[in-house]
Chain A
Amino acid sequence: MFFKLAFRNIIAARKRSSVTLFLTSITTALLVFSSAWMDGSHFTMIQNAVEIYPGYIQITEKDFRANPSYDHLIFDASFIETKLAGNDAIANYAARFESFVLFSADEKAVGGMLAGIEPVREKHLSRLFSSLQEGEYLDGDDTNQLYIGSELAKRLQLEVGDEVAFIGNGADYSFAADNLIVKGVFQTGLFDFDASSAFVYKGYFDKIMAAENRATHFIVLPKKPGQAEQLAAAIAADLGGQYQSASWNQTMAALVKAMKLDSFFGYITLGIIFIVIFFVIMIYTLLAVFSRIHEIGILRAIGTTPQQILTQLVLESSMLAFISVVIGGLLGGILAYYFSIYPIVFSGMEEQFKQYGLAASEMPTAFMPLTILRDMTVMFVLSVLSTLYPIFMVNRFKPIEAIHHV
């Protein structure tokens, strides 16, 4: 009976109901879309940062991350290789050896990273291959062929086919130097990375740097990137205490923290908007309920109890809130879904994005049904709560006062 009455009242007061419905729906849609936008941009930033080079999981010697020196190398790379090859949850993996060297071309000398990589496997693990700008990517049988970052090439005034020398220390701290030929130039879009990195085939690197069967780290791509954390833990358990297996959450802790902080401030901004909306709905409900005092007085006079009136009014507001959040959730959800497939493109803002380590101008939203449901629930609870005070207020009137209320 209450349900029927509540429904009738909503229909009867069309104008009042429409305004409440409109306010709550728009707010819900706004919340759903804002969350999807915020999460989406954070996912994009992290995914970009992870996939360009660092990878989802890194395996190092246990002290290497705290003290990245040649004293903490992986000295038995084939052991790690065997272990990783036997893990079904891994889509791909490869060894890398990074060293800091001095590049010299003509009169110019610039310090930078020279790393030995496995070119074929690396294609699936990072965006080095897809970032090719000029020339060719590395091959598995290359010798002194260099794949160099575009900014580093610019600093050394190098083009494809040019010669550049490097000097550095081998894995045994011995002196290492050779002449390299630029085979390809890459541009990931991350300025610092492009300005300081160059790669050669690890087989060649190992010979020249006395690094056979050694690596600074392994990089692992899980079959399910969302489960990188669990896989990193499983690999760590399999390898034993001599090695550390860290997911991107750890290797890129600073970025993850920055994203969390950004989300925190984002939610504070949304919170302030909701407080304002909460009071708008409350004041509107207060006005709407007060315009019904006469009607409530008559109901009380014919024997309706205050509890029955409370139930009746709360049911009305709950029904309205429910319909609103469903409409708002759908609207916000459709927008979130649409922009997750057709990302918003900020053309011309690449430079600003790069400052935040983001090598992209497309920003897809994150369409996550569970988050949408969470936001809808929050809005439902908020809008019902905002009507409680006016309902309690009006229920305190005595029947005779209520009937005479103008």
Chain B
Amino acid sequence: MFFGYTKSHVQAELFCIAFLLTFVFPLSAFAETAVEIINKVQSNLNGKTAVMNLSMVVKGKRATRTMKMKSYSCGDDKSFIQILYPGKDRGITFLKIDNSMWQYVPRIEKIIKIPASMMLQSWMGSDFTNDDLVKTNSLTDDYTKQLLAEIDQEYQVELLPTEEAAVVWGRIVMGVSKQFYLPTTVLYYDEDDTLIRKMIYTDVQPFGEKYYPTKWLMLPQEPEKIGKETMVEISNAVFDEDISESYFTKRALKRYSN
């Protein structure tokens, strides 16, 4: 007996420590890895700043539409999008700051703040929603991460919303390339664990020192939306160069409209 402990007390303590070492610590180490993976993915996707030229092809059941746009982003909380094509929509601009989004439409000469009730509406008729544009930092803040599996080329990370998170997804499963720490596939499930949509990232290309997936394919999985798809293709991207702060103000919406 020492320090008032009996031998059986010491044995019990040792058992607890052994238990912690055997089962709990590896789990927490596993969880930390998943968090790290997602943080790396977020950092690789957003960078410090990014200027991209991209096209979006929306394939519906009846027709296919193509849009071209230029996007400016600073971290994952500020972004500015300019529609360049088609001519009818040219000059429409979007500004996202934190969780708020504004839109400027030259035809009506008006800046409109997108209300929370419209967040789940389609963005420019695509399979993306306004919420997708606004909640770009959501994966880091609103979800707990767990490593589901590790295969040759890929990690499978499961993201579950935290209790207080105001998010639309019940579960997200992300495949992450080990080589680039970029997403390969992302599966979005609703609260009933039904697969709602699938996003596939392909064609990773170097842009300066950075690698980036240049094709993003969004495939809705709801029965009534099967057959539709939205493909985003990045034709040019410049990362981590200074972008004028003037792009991330409400005034920019009108100023950079043309």
A interface bracket (residues with beta carbon within 8 Å of B):
20 to 34
A105-125 interface code vs B (CB 8 A; 1 in, 0 out): 001011100000000000000
Given contacts A167-B103, A175-B92, A175-B125, contact A71 B61 (CB under 8 A): yes
For the complex, give the distance between the alpha carbons of A169 and B58 in Å.
13
Interface centre among A63, A71, A169 (most CB of B within 10 A): A71
- A169 contacts which of B105, B108, B117, B125 (Cβ < 8 Å)? B125
B98-125 interface code vs A (CB 8 A; 1 in, 0 out): 0000010101101011110110011011
Residue on A nearest B89 in the bound complex, by CB: A175
- A174 contacts which of B65, B107, B110, B117 (Cβ < 8 Å)? B65
A110 adjacent to B224 (CB under 8 Å) = no
Q: Give the residues in chain B near A165, CB-CB below 8 Å.
A: 105, 108, 110, 112
For the complex, give the distance between the alpha carbons of A2 and B88 in Å.
94
Q: Give the residues in chain B near A167, CB-CB below 8 Å.
A: 103, 105, 108, 112
For the complex, give the distance between the alpha carbons of A174 and B61 in Å.
14
For the complex, give the distance between the alpha carbons of A173 and B63 in Å.
9
- B108 contacts which of A66, A172, A178 (Cβ < 8 Å)? A178
For the complex, give the distance between the alpha carbons of A287 and B148 in Å.
83
Tell yes or no: B62 within 8 A of A by CB. Answer: yes
For the complex, give the distance between the alpha carbons of A12 and B26 in Å.
102
A111 adjacent to B105 (CB under 8 Å) = no
- B125 contacts which of A102, A110, A173, A177 (Cβ < 8 Å)? A173
For the complex, give the distance between the alpha carbons of A174 and B105 in Å.
13
For the complex, give the distance between the alpha carbons of A66 and B117 in Å.
23
B92 adjacent to A109 (CB under 8 Å) = no
Tell yes or no: B60 within 8 A of A by CB. Answer: yes
Q: How far is the CB of B194 from chain A (nearest CB, A)?
A: 16
B88 adjacent to A175 (CB under 8 Å) = yes
Residue on A nearest B126 in the bound complex, by CB: A173
Q: How far is the CB of B223 from chain A (nearest CB, A)?
A: 9
Q: Give the residues in chain A near B114, CB-CB below 8 Å.
A: 102, 109
Q: How far is the CB of A172 from chain B (nearest CB, A)?
A: 6
Residue on B nearest A166 in the bound complex, by CB: B108
Interface residues of A in 153-191 (CB under 8 A from B): 165, 167, 169, 172-175, 177-179
- B112 contacts which of A67, A100, A109 (Cβ < 8 Å)? A109
For the complex, give the distance between the alpha carbons of A107 and B117 in Å.
15
For the complex, give the distance between the alpha carbons of A111 and B122 in Å.
13
Given contacts A110-B115, A173-B60, A174-B65, contact A100 B107 (CB under 8 A): no
B58 adjacent to A177 (CB under 8 Å) = no
Given contacts A172-B63, A178-B108, contact A109 B115 (CB under 8 A): yes
Given contacts A69-B224, A109-B113, A175-B92, contact A100 B121 (CB under 8 A): yes
Tell yes or no: A104 within 8 A of B by CB. Answer: yes
A104 adjacent to B110 (CB under 8 Å) = yes
Given contacts A102-B112, A165-B105, A172-B65, contact A67 B125 (CB under 8 A): no
B residues sitting closer than 8 Å to A (CB atoms) are: 58, 60-63, 65, 86, 88-89, 92, 103, 105, 107-108, 110, 112-115, 117-118, 121-122, 124-125, 224
What are 24 sample pairs from A and B whose C-beta atoms fall under 8 A apart? A66-B224, A71-B61, A71-B62, A100-B121, A102-B115, A102-B121, A104-B110, A104-B112, A109-B114, A111-B117, A111-B121, A167-B108, A167-B112, A172-B62, A172-B63, A173-B63, A173-B65, A174-B65, A174-B125, A175-B105, A175-B125, A177-B105, A177-B107, A179-B110
Known: A111-B117, A111-B121, A175-B124. 8 other contacts (CB 8 A): A71-B60, A104-B110, A109-B113, A109-B115, A165-B108, A174-B125, A175-B88, A175-B125
